[in-house]
């Protein structure tokens, strides 16, 4: 068994224009002060990292990591969630997602997709330069507008979408192999990889690529009414990253999973700060320990009610309280009879 590392904090939700949230030096000091030992870095935020420079300069990466360590935290992983989203965008979402891209490729889906692929590849190279072995991202989506089959989906529509998705990601996964870095797709509504079945559909099409893995976040499973504990056992060999995020689902006679187009505050399913939702983290951390997950427990704060700075500080302590320092011996070793093969056969009534 392995002991998880942590707590760490995903910085994306905390970036801002005011100190200490507007600089690498400031936010790493703040994260350490909150009780974190690591930070997960959004690669699209130039206040924290120059992605192109990180992909081309080992010295720059050493300086970035060195400053973080001097401030009390280490870099756990890089994230290209926003860029990964743009690897595959259905035309219905062109306008909504255009803001994720560089201004030079907006209003140009082909150029935007090429830019996104290059961004993810740079993120993987930068991960290598930082000495990291895991990388978080989104898969993007071509089939998501058709997630609910009304009108009836034409035969072959979903197959065509997943064939194309795999075609776009295979060169990136091969680059990940060259870098020695796992691509960890956050399984997330809005992505074509939004549950276990869709991950398996994709995995088959990328030939069970060794670098195709999962970022496990139970909050997205709670809102889908998916068994998030069983999921750990099913995909334990592919779960390589872990977002610790809470959620609650309280359906009523008026709304359920789809939320009735309401704001997050008024939805039946909503994300909550750690400890304020319904996720059974005791069971999750136990499963992770039993299944030899030795990665980072990374807090991703999202809550419709609580102030983010309160959520961050509470989250650090919450993870500390849940990480299981695994035992190196069995609890009943004191009763070991010191038997051998001959004694075992004798206990079974067998001839020596």
Give the CA distances from residue 343 to residues 336, 339, 351, in Å, rounded to whole numbers and listed in that order: 13, 6, 10
CA pair distance 326, 23, nearest whole angstrom: 36
- pLDDT surpasses 90 at 347: no
Burial of 255: CB neighbours in 10 Å, binned 0-12, 13-18, 19+: middle
CA pair distance 159, 225, nearest whole angstrom: 25
Q: What does the DSSP assignment read for 94-162?
A: HHHHHTTS-GGGTT-HHHHHHHHHHHHHHHHHHHHHTT--EEEE---BSSGGGSS-SSPPPTTHHHHHH
User: Within its chain, how far is the Cα of 204 from the centroid?
Assistant: 21
pLDDT band at 4 (very low <50, low <70, confident <90, very high): very high
Contacts of 56 (CB under 8 A, 6+ apart): 125
Domains belonging to the chain, first-starting first, are 5-347 (3.20.20.150)
pLDDT band at 334 (very low <50, low <70, confident <90, very high): low
Task: Give the residues across from 216 on adjacent strands.
Answer: 242
Mean residue pLDDT across the chain: 96
pLDDT band at 341 (very low <50, low <70, confident <90, very high): confident
pTM of the model: 0.95
Task: Give the residues across from 134 on adjacent strands.
Answer: 182
Give the CA distances from residue 335 to residues 19, 330, 341, in Å, rounded to whole numbers and listed in that order: 58, 10, 18
Q: What is the mean pLDDT of residues 191-195?
A: 98
User: Pick from 259, 251, 233, 245: which is nearest to 315 by CA?
Assistant: 245
Task: Give the pLDDT score at 335.
Answer: 62
Q: What is the pLDDT of residues 48-79, one digit of tens each?
A: 999 999 999 999 999 999 999 999 999 999 99
Pair of tokens at residue 163: 């064939």
Q: What is the pLDDT of residues 265-319, one digit of tens each?
A: 999 999 999 999 999 999 999 999 999 999 999 999 999 999 999 999 999 999 9
User: Pick from 218, 138, 137, 217: which is nearest to 181 by CA?
Assistant: 137
User: Within its chain, how far is the Cα of 77 from the centroid?
Assistant: 10
């Amino acid at each position: 068994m392995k002991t998880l590392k942590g707590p760490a904090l995903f910085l994306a939700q905390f970036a801002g224009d005011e100190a200490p949230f507007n600089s690498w030096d400031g936010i790493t000091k703040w994260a350490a002060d909150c009780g974190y030992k690591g930070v997960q870095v959004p690669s699209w935020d130039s206040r924290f990292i120059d992605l192109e420079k990180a992909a081309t300069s080992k010295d720059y990466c050493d300086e970035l990591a060195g400053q973080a360590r001097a401030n009390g935290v280490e870099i756990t992983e890089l994230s290209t969630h926003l860029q990964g989203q743009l690897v595959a965008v259905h035309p219905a979402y062109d306008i909504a997602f255009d803001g994720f891209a560089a201004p030079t490729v907006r209003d140009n889906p082909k150029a935007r997709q090429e830019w996104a692929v290059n961004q993810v590849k740079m993120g993987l190279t930068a991960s290598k330069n930082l000495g990291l072995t895991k990388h978080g991202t989104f898969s993007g989506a071509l089939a998501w507008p058709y997630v609910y089959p009304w009108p009836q989906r034409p035969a072959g529509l979903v197959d065509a979408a997943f064939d194309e998705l795999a075609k776009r990601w295979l060169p990136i996964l091969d680059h990940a192999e060259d870098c020695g870095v796992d691509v960890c797709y956050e399984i997330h509504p809005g992505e074509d990889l939004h549950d276990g079945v869709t991950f398996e559909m994709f995995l088959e099409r990328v030939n069970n690529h060794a670098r195709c893995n999962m970022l496990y976040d139970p909050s997205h499973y709670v809102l889908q009414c998916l068994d998030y504990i069983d999921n750990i056992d099913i995909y334990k060999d592919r779960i390589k990253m872990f977002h610790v995020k809470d959620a609650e689902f309280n359906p009523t006679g008026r709304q359920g999973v789809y939320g009735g187009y309401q704001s997050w505050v008024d939805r039946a399913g909503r994300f909550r700060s750690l400890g304020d939702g319904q996720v059974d983290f005791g069971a999750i951390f136990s499963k992770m320990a039993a299944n030899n997950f030795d990665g980072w427990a990374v807090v991703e704060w999202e809550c419709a009610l609580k102030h983010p700075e309160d959520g961050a500080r509470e989250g650090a302590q919450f993870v500390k309280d849940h990480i299981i320092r695994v035992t190196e011996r069995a609890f009943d070793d004191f009763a070991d009879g010191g038997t051998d093969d001959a004694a075992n056969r004798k206990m079974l009534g067998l001839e020596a």
